[in-house]
Each structure stands twice: as C-alpha cells, then as structure tokens.
Structure 1
Amino acid sequence: MIEVVEYQPSWSARFSELRAAYGPALRAAGVGYRSIEHVGSTSVPGLAAKPIIDVDVVVEAADAEPASRALAHIGFEARGDLDVPGRIAFFTPERFAPSNTYVMTDGSLALRNHLAVRDVLRADSALRDEYAAAKRQAAISAGNPGEYLVLKSGVLDRILCLAGLSAEERAQVAEVNRSIAARGVKGD
C-alpha cells in the first residue's frame, strides 16, 4: 500500500536538519557542492505526499564520486545511478530516515526534473491540488510503487511542459520513470 498524507509543516524543518548534517560532512571531506535542495512533494507547501523527505545534493560532475564518499562517512551506502543519468542514489541510514538522498550532477535532466516539479507546483496552487488528487487516486489504485509512479505520469508530464522542458526531455523523463516502474522501485 502507498501512503499519501496531507502536507506537514514539519517536513521543512526535517529537511533543514538533514541539510545541517550533510553540509558539514561534505565540507569536512573537501567536497564542493552547489546546493542541497529539498525536492519532491514534501517540498511543496500544501501538497499531499508520501511522508519521505527527498534531498538532492547538487554537485559538478567531477565532485559526484567525492560527494558520494563523503556521505558514506555519515552512514549512506551508494547504490549507483539506478538507470537515472546524472544521479547517485543511496540506501538511507536509520538516523536519516525517512528520506531519499541523491547526489545530482548540476544541469542534469534528473535534477532539472526535480526542480521543475517543485517550482511549478509551488507557484500554481490549482495544479498542486490537481496533482495531489492524482497522487491520492494513484495511491488507492496502485498495487506497487512502480504502478503509483505510472498512474500519476500524465499530470507530471503537464507539469514538466509548463516548466519549459522540451518534448524530447519529457520523453526521456517518462522513459526513466517507466524503467523505474518496471523494477517496482518507489517514486514520488
């Protein structure tokens, strides 16, 4: 069963706690990073979401592996890109759960996708509410996390179109999401 709950103001505070742990670990390892971003549905005030904080550590391509090693020092275990170019995913240590953390290459389509969804939904309350309704319905209908991802893909495509992603870029995002769905991997 997929759990989608009403927006919780505490999500923003939890992200701040995560960022406060990640930044010093990266700096202690001498890793340059552009930003640490709160992404995913929990980053959009008023949006219903799975109660899992998504965090993108944004780095230049040359800093992706060093950033991964720095996060390993605080308990994360790298899982590779999981077929998402420009991203390194991690197993989350218990003290940082529930969260999904990614090292994202600056400028990558994966990062642009995350930021676009967040920024469009923060700016458009009607679309935010439509997406929340799609998420709730998908959570009821989906038999697994992959199916949940597919069931909300129509609204996601419209969000990405409004964000200015090209048809080719949206097709690439959709293909990655289909691949994730086929593996039954969680997606928000």
Structure 2
Amino acid sequence: MAEEVVIKEYTPEWLQEFEKEKAKILQTLQHNIVYIEHIGSTSVVGLPSKPILDIAVGVNHLDEADSFIEPLSKLDYEYVYKLEFPNRRFFRKGEWRKGTHHLHVYELTSDEWNNNLLFRDYLRSHPEKVLEYAKLKKHLASIYQEDRVTYTEMKAPFIQSVIELAKKR
C-alpha cells in the first residue's frame, strides 16, 4: 500500500501541540527522561512539512525505552519495532500509516540525537536553507506523492549536507 506524501504550509499550531505533548510525556515518564526536543520539519518556523509532529526523547541508555512502552500507551503511543533503526526506539500516535505524532527515543551520546538537533538548529538560524529545503520537499512530494519511502530517501543528501555544514560551525 502506498503512503501518500502530503506537505502542509507551516503553522504555529505545531509548536503549541509539541508543548502540550511534551508536558504530557514528561508527566507520564517523569524522571526517566533526560531531554525532550521538538525535531523534524514541524520544529522549524516557516518550513512546510508533513503534518506529523516529531518528538525526540533523550536517555542515557537506550534500553530504558523498554520501560516507556506501557506508560506511553496510556497517551495513545504505540511502540513500533523497527529492525532497520537499531539505535532508536520508535513510538507512533495515530492510525497506522496515518500517524500524527512520531516519538523517537535516542541515547544522548548517539549520532542520531546529535544530528537531529544539528539539522534543526542549523535550519532555524539559516532562513536561506529553509527556503531551499522547502522547495526541494515540495518538488519531491510532487514527484513521489504516493511513495513516502522514496520521498524520504531523496531528501537524505540535502539533510546530510546541512548536518555537515552544522558540524563545521
């Protein structure tokens, strides 16, 4: 089954929704979280995005995420095992293939944690890159509108180039 790529214009409601969700997650998981961050395109003001809120939870040890499965289920997050991502734990809120929230658990020392923050922070401080990324995303979405996997793969070189720029700062 194809996964449609839908890109929406930026809305400040994404930040508001993150803040609400962050408060619920912090209350539910309490002292088990070291950090919680808004990542992905919805975390960058002005950047069009798929309307899926990406949340990163930072922990000291990835196996801590096993204890999150039950409490997060009370907030309607479902743990989704992903063999292809051994360095993170993934939870989805919303229907299968129509998730509204993606929660990623990473170790704070991991490249995945650091790269997500480097990418977000670089875009937040470089509006010209936001415009370039927005144009790329819209173009790819028009070509791969029924193929989210390929859409995502085709964005990877741009994302990696921004991470490399951010590491040089």
TM-score range, shorter chain: 0.7 to 0.9
Which residue matches 1:67? 68
Give the Cα separation in 1 of the matches to 2:75 and 2:20: 14
SS at match of 1:90: strand
1:44 corresponds to 2:44: yes
Measured in 2, the distance between the counterparts of 1:135 and 1:122 equals 17
Report the equivalent of 1:173.
none
Runs of 4+ in 1 over 3 A off after TM superposition: none
Q: State the shift of 1:70 in Å.
A: 2.7
State the alpha-carbon separation in 2 of the partners of residues 144 and 118 from structure 1: 24
TM alignment of 1:62-141, pairs within 5 A:
62-93=63-94, 98-141=100-143
CA RMSD of aligned residues (A): 1.8
Q: Which has the higher strand share?
A: 2
The offset of 1:90, in angstroms, is 1.6
CA contact (8 A) 2:56 2:105 kept: yes
C-alpha distance 119-127 of structure 1, shift in aligned 2 (>3 A) = same
Question: What is residue 9 of structure 1 aligned with on the other side?
Answer: 12
Contact 1:84–1:110 (CA<8 Å) still a contact in 2? no
Contact kept? 2:92, 2:101, Cα under 8 Å: no
Query: CA separation of 1:68/1:110 partners in 2, compared to 1, >3 Å: closer, same or farther?
Result: farther
Name the TM-score, length of structure 1 as normaliser.
0.78
- What is the aligned partner in structure 2 of residue 55 from structure 1? 55
Q: Tell which has more relative contact order, 1 or 2 (C-alpha 8 A, sep 6+).
A: 2
Paired with 1:37 and 1:92, the residues of 2 have a C-alpha distance of 17
SS at match of 2:32: coil
Determine if contact 1:12/1:43 at 8 Å carries over to the other structure: yes
Which structure 2 segments of 5+ residues have no match? none
The amino acid that maps onto 1:3 is: V
Q: Cα gap change, 1:81/1:150 in structure 2, threshold over 3 Å: closer, same or farther?
A: closer
Percentage of matched positions with identical amino acids? 30
Contact 1:82/1:89, CA 8 A, preserved across alignment: no
CA–CA separation in structure 1 for the residues paired with 2:60 and 2:82: 15
Q: Equivalents in 2 of 1:40, 1:47: separation in Å?
A: 10
Q: Structure 1 regions of 5+ residues with no counterpart? A: 166-188
The CA deviation at 1:56 is 0.9
Contact 1:5 1:51 in 2 (8 A): yes
Number of the residue aligned with 1:159: 162
SS in 2 for 1:159: helix
Would you say the 8 A contact 1:3–1:50 is kept in 2?
yes
Distance verdict in 2 for CA 1:82–1:129, change over 3 Å: farther
